[in-house]
Amino acid sequence: MEKLQVKEKEADVLLQKNSYLVGEVRYLTDAVQHLNQRAAELEADRQQAREKIRSLLNRRVPAVPPAKTVAKPSPDPAQLLQLGRLTRALNVSSKKLRATVQQALADMRKQLEQLKGSVGELARVEREGAAEVEELRSLYRREAAERKSLHNKVLELQGNIRVFCRCRRSDRASSCLETAGDQEVVLVQKGSKKKFQFDKVFTPSSSQEEVFSGMLPVITSCVDGYNVCVLAYGQTGSGKTYTMMGSKENPGVNISEKSRLMSMLEIYNETLKDLLTKSPNASLDIRVQGKSVAVPGLTQVQVQTEADILGVMEMGERNRKIASTKMNTQSSRSHLLVALEVEISDSVSGLTTRGTLTLCDLAGSERISKTEAEGQRLVEAAAINKSLTALGQVFGALKCNALHIPFRNSKLTHLLQPCLSGDAKCCVFVNVSPDVKDVVETLSTLQFGSTIRQVSLGRAAQNIGPARGGKTAK
């Protein structure tokens, strides 16, 4: 930074000097024009004087008859005196003009020499500036690499799983939640208060932009070449889908990132459904290859702009299973997983980073006694609660550093295995309702969030390398 400031000062000095020289050139140009005008005036005076001399010389005494002898006329003294004055004036003007022109030419030669020196100096400075620019580019590349390294170290010190709490808006006057700062929420239940700490607490008045800004460090990790997983957990109707998907006017997390490929699937009654395929009844299976988990046949759509992502999301949302329950008129009856492959190229460093952003909108946890679900809704609720229980068991095993992590207890945890086994950075939104009638579900959600906040997944691998065709560095 000091070198850059020095170079900026040198550039300012050169610009001031250049401005001075430009002013001098303008002054000399005006002087030359004035001299040319004066020379033209003197030349006109000279021509006028010559005409007067010629007129005087051409004057003759009238001719006399040759027979008569007359004496030669003597010159008119007055005419001779006038002729002398004109001649002297012409000589003086000529000398002044010659001296003025010579002085102007000498000044111009001097200024031209100065301009040549300045041009040479500017050329030298330009060459040095090009070398300095290249040095600054190198410093920028090193600084950018150091910034990314420090940023990811900070996240690792904070824990790879970051837990945010978001309170849903409510029109009711009574509330079971109180906020104490931006990292603490207090649950009020039967006169007692219980505090819960999170990485960030978003109040009911928080906007979608504020929520995205809060999780921007995690998203930045994806841009830096890390796989990132974002989950939304909470009871039905607590605002999970709004946080993740948003609306056209207030987009959620899903469309706030540049991407290359996009896929959407839902887990409905422990069955995988491709939400972007034209054959919605086609069955999908999970295939494990080493540490990676894949879904063969899952549709991937090329996306480049926000409009592309919006179109894909709208198509996937139309195909998602929703139904009305006593607690939520538009209750998601399935877990939604959206995967966005992100690729960012740095034109300065020449490196390309690739990461996958996995966004999971979990179906809401339900108590059958409150939802009064029957028939198909009851089957759906049982499948949702079973998979959420399996997710809680996975987080519990990770917290205790257990030798065996039960990822295969459900399709949900099986698909999330790469994200929760140290290959990605993880962020969890626990969405809660401030309504007093939902205090039991809110307490359960806050306890779930407090548990997973103590989970450390270990260091994730970075996917970074040169442009396509080169070798990828880990």
Please list, in sequence order, all residues whose beta carbon lies within 8 angstroms of the beta carbon of residue 8, skipping any fewer than 6 positions away. Answer: none
The DSSP line for 387-415 is HHHHHHHHHHHHHTT-S---GGGSHHHHH
243 known ligand binder: no
Q: Lowest-pLDDT range, 66-75, 166-175, 197-206, 209-218?
A: 66-75
Amino acid in the structure at residue 451? T
Distance separating alpha carbons of residues 289 and 279, to the nearest angstrom? 26
Q: Of residues 49 and 405, which shows the higher confidence score? A: 405
Nearest Cα to Cα of residue 161 among 432, 412, 458: 458
Q: Of residues 4 and 416, which shows the higher confidence score? A: 416
355 known ligand binder: no
**What does each C-alpha distance from 322 to 201, 244, 267, 329 come to in angstroms?**
28, 16, 12, 9
Please list, in sequence order, all residues whose beta carbon lies within 8 angstroms of the beta carbon of residue 168, skipping any fewer than 6 positions away. Answer: 204, 237, 238, 239, 431, 432, 433, 434
200 known ligand binder: no
pLDDT tens digit sequence for 411-431? 999 999 988 887 788 889 999
55 known ligand binder: no
Residue 245: CB atoms within 10 Å: 23
pLDDT tens digit sequence for 355-383? 888 999 888 776 665 656 567 878 888 88
pLDDT tens digit sequence for 289-323? 877 889 999 999 998 887 888 888 888 888 887 65
Confidence at 86, pLDDT banded by 50, 70, 90: confident
Confidence at 248, pLDDT banded by 50, 70, 90: low
pLDDT tens digit sequence for 169-185? 877 767 888 887 788 99
Distance separating alpha carbons of residues 107 and 384, to the nearest angstrom? 92
Rounded to two decimals, the pTM is 0.61
Q: Lowest-pLDDT range, 34-38, 61-65, 310-314, 448-452?
A: 61-65
pLDDT tens digit sequence for 112-144? 888 888 888 888 888 888 888 888 888 888 887
Domain boundaries defined on the chain: 160-454
Q: Of residues 472 and 449, which shows the higher confidence score? A: 449
- The residue-averaged pLDDT of 74-79 equals 68
Q: Report the pLDDT value the prediction gives residue 39, as an integer from 0 to 100.
A: 73
Q: Of residues 273 and 246, which shows the higher confidence score? A: 273
444 known ligand binder: no
- The residue-averaged pLDDT of 93-108 equals 80
358 known ligand binder: no
What does the angle CA 346 – CA 351 – CA 357 come to, to the nearest 5 degrees? 80
Q: Of residues 336 and 37, which shows the higher confidence score? A: 336
CATH fit for domain 160-454, picks 3.40.640.10, 3.40.50.2300, 3.40.850.10, 3.40.190.10: 3.40.850.10
Q: Report the pLDDT value the prediction gives residue 73, as an integer from 0 to 100.
A: 59
- Does 404 score more than 90 pLDDT? yes
Q: Report the pLDDT value the prediction gives residue 365, as an integer from 0 to 100.
A: 73
Distance separating alpha carbons of residues 357 and 250, to the nearest angstrom? 20
214 known ligand binder: no
Q: Would you tell me the crossing angle of helices 439-452 and 376-399 to the nearest 10 degrees?
A: 30
Q: Which residues of 198-211 are buried (b: 16+ CB within 10 A; e: fewer)?
A: bbbbbeeebebeeb
**What does each C-alpha distance from 327 to 108, 188, 323, 388 come to in angstroms?**
91, 21, 11, 18
225 known ligand binder: no
- Does 407 score more than 60 pLDDT? yes
